[in-house]
Structure 1
Amino acid sequence: MRQGVCRLVTLSKYSLTKHKTILAEPFGQRLLVISTALSTSHVG
């Protein structure tokens, strides 16, 4: 149970920093979208 909570905290922290980075630079967001699309197309 405790492990799940730690996991949740880490996840929220990660998403927060990710949001800050994306807000800081829109170019990073575009890069993220492109990389995500590439990885999903490779998996599919």
Structure 2
Amino acid sequence: MGFDTQFGWTGTVGEVVIGATKGDGGTRRVSYRIGGGATLPFIDGGQVS
């Protein structure tokens, strides 16, 4: 039994950066990048078990 994983997705998810390190002109030790994906979540086209 196979699953159709072709959805015709052509967009990307926007990326948000939270915090700015010293290299980015900020004062934080770490920054987090959230988003930026180019595929739908949990769809990799691999074998489903």
* TM-score, scaled relative to structure 1: 0.24
RCO (CA 8 Å, sep 6+): is it higher in 1 or 2?
Answer: 2
